[in-house]
Amino acid sequence: MRVLITGAAGFLGSHLCDRYIAEGHTVVGMDNLITGNMDNLAHLFGHERFSFIKHDVSNYIHVSGELDAVLHFASPASPIDYLEHPIPTLKVGSLGTHNTLGLAKHKGARYLLASTSEVYGDPQVNPQPETYWGHVNPIGPRGVYDEAKRFAEAMTLAYQRFHGLETRIVRIFNTYGPRMRLNDGRVVPNFIHQALTGQPLTVYGDGSQTRSFQYYTDLIEGIYRLLVSDEKLPVNIGNPSEMSILDFAHAVIEVSGSNSEIVFVQPKDERVTDDPKVRRPDITKAREILGWEPKVKLADGLAQTVDYFRDRV
Ligand code: UDP
């Protein structure tokens, strides 16, 4: 296959490039580098089956030659990033999705949209099955991401139903691992950075809010299976082992062998507005349809991630 991956220089996009190259496919990576980092792709430059185009997919996209698949992973993806880039976040989820769908239709390519657990907002149902419609504040600070991704899902289904395009949608839950940005503001890089530099780990609120963390290799495997599956409706891919943010802070301290303390902070800014109180994927569908489930334990994935960050702090 010849595959276009948007957001190729990001955390997930670059790992996807690696997977498709490793499977013998040809990869065209695309990124405008507002949050992506070329270091994540440096090892692929010079590879005969890899090429890169610096481009903002919110503008008309031209790719010469055939394409068999388009994987749309471009978007700021951390609360800090979309607070800093609210309009590009809305544009890449809406216009970028429209443009990549149009490209896939033109090329006769299969399409996969990177959606998110944020479509469920601050959920009133836990765990969240794909049938849950969500509880999103459209005008809060997270609305720029949540609503763009909800629009992206609607647009993708419209291309499937109206144009007969082969589309797939993955709803990605919290994922961590090497190549996350140290300063992206998310809890995993924040806590690891703090643990490795002896600073206190900043737990927002009382730390009772929950998340379910999956290691990136499990996610990439789920995406790889989903693209070749027949499932046309969204599929959750995440690790159902849910924990409080306070317990997660303890886990980071333990794995990194840090002496850091834990402090409770009450940010007054938008970082914690509409912060989901719980989040856990119901992965029944992925288990049944893809024969997929996460394999990597938190302690093992965290150890790999801490090693990666140790070289960079
Ligand atoms: N969080 C925290 N301390 C930090 C960064 C984040 O306690 O230094 C909390 C945040 O309030 C949220 C959870 O960790 O409840 C996960 O936040 P993240 O930004 O990683 O992503 P989200 O899952 O909210 O999109």
As beta bridge partners, residue 70 has 4, 111
Gap from CA of 187 to ligand 1 centroid (Å):
4
Q: Distance between terminal CA atoms of the chain?
A: 38
pLDDT per residue over 138-151, tens digit each? 999 999 999 999 99
pTM of the entire predicted model:
0.97
| pLDDT of res. 41 | 98
Which residues, at least 6 apart from 2, have a Cβ–Cβ distance to it below 8 Å?
A: 25, 26, 27, 28, 65, 66, 67, 68, 69
Q: Where does the pLDDT of residue 223 fall: very low under 50, low under 70, confident under 90, or very high at 90 and above?
A: very high
For the cut 90, the answer to whether the pLDDT of residue 107 exceeds it is yes
Distance, in Å, from the CA atom of 219 to the CA atom of 239, rounded to the nearest integer, reads: 9
For the cut 90, the answer to whether the pLDDT of residue 249 exceeds it is yes
Q: Where does the pLDDT of residue 235 fall: very low under 50, low under 70, confident under 90, or very high at 90 and above?
A: very high
CB 75 within 8 A of CB 100: no
The share of the chain scoring above pLDDT 70, in percent, equals 100
Distance, in Å, from the CA atom of 88 to the CA atom of 3, rounded to the nearest integer, reads: 24
CB 176 within 8 A of CB 309: no
The string of DSSP codes covering 54-92 is E--TTS-----S--SEEEE--S--SHHHHHHSHHHHHHH
| pLDDT of res. 185 | 92
For the cut 90, the answer to whether the pLDDT of residue 269 exceeds it is no
Tell whether the torsion through CA atoms of 223, 226, 228 and 234 is positive or negative. Answer: negative
| pLDDT of res. 64 | 97
Atom of ligand 1 at shortest range from CA of 279 = 23
CB 56 within 8 A of CB 27: no
Mean pLDDT computed over 298-311: 97
Q: Which residues line ligand 1 (CB under 6 A)?
A: 78-79, 174, 186-187, 190, 202-204, 209, 211, 245, 272, 275
* Closest C-alpha to ligand 1, atom 5: 187
Task: Indicate the top mutation candidate among 171, 197, 204 to test ligand 1's pocket, ranked by most ligand atoms within 8 A of CB.
Answer: 204
Gap from CA of 211 to ligand 1 centroid (Å):
9
Task: Indicate the top mutation candidate among 191, 211, 271 to test ligand 1's pocket, ranked by most ligand atoms within 8 A of CB.
Answer: 211
| pLDDT of res. 202 | 97
Gap from CA of 257 to ligand 1 centroid (Å):
22
Mean pLDDT computed over 228-253: 98
Mean pLDDT computed over 233-258: 98
For the cut 80, the answer to whether the pLDDT of residue 111 exceeds it is yes
Q: Where does the pLDDT of residue 290 fall: very low under 50, low under 70, confident under 90, or very high at 90 and above?
A: very high
* Closest C-alpha to ligand 1, atom 18: 186
Q: Where does the pLDDT of residue 207 fall: very low under 50, low under 70, confident under 90, or very high at 90 and above?
A: very high
Options 111, 145, 176, 215, the catalytic residue: 145
How many other C-beta atoms are found inside a 10 Å radius of the C-beta of residue 211?
22
Mean pLDDT computed over 104-130: 98
For the cut 90, the answer to whether the pLDDT of residue 46 exceeds it is yes
132 belongs to the catalytic site: no
Q: What is the CATH number of domain 180-211+241-281+296-310?
A: 3.90.25.10
Q: Where does the pLDDT of residue 74 fall: very low under 50, low under 70, confident under 90, or very high at 90 and above?
A: very high
Q: Where does the pLDDT of residue 255 fall: very low under 50, low under 70, confident under 90, or very high at 90 and above?
A: very high
Tokens of 223: 């995406």
Q: Where does the pLDDT of residue 270 fall: very low under 50, low under 70, confident under 90, or very high at 90 and above?
A: confident
As beta bridge partners, residue 3 has 27, 69
The three-state secondary structure class of 3 is: strand
Mean pLDDT computed over 166-185: 97
Distance, in Å, from the CA atom of 156 to the CA atom of 165, rounded to the nearest integer, reads: 9
Q: Which CATH architecture has domain 2-175+214-237?
A: 3-Layer(aba) Sandwich (3.40)
Positions of CATH 3.90.25.10 in the chain: 180-211+241-281+296-310
Distances (CA, A) of 135 to 125, 150, 276, 289: 9, 12, 10, 26
| pLDDT of res. 271 | 77
Positions of CATH 3.40.50.720 in the chain: 2-175+214-237
For the cut 90, the answer to whether the pLDDT of residue 201 exceeds it is yes
Least confident of 125-129, 181-185, 236-240, 266-270: 266-270
The share of the chain scoring above pLDDT 90, in percent, equals 95
Gap from CA of 295 to ligand 1 centroid (Å):
23
For the cut 80, the answer to whether the pLDDT of residue 196 exceeds it is yes
Q: Where does the pLDDT of residue 154 fall: very low under 50, low under 70, confident under 90, or very high at 90 and above?
A: very high
Tokens of 298: 């938190």
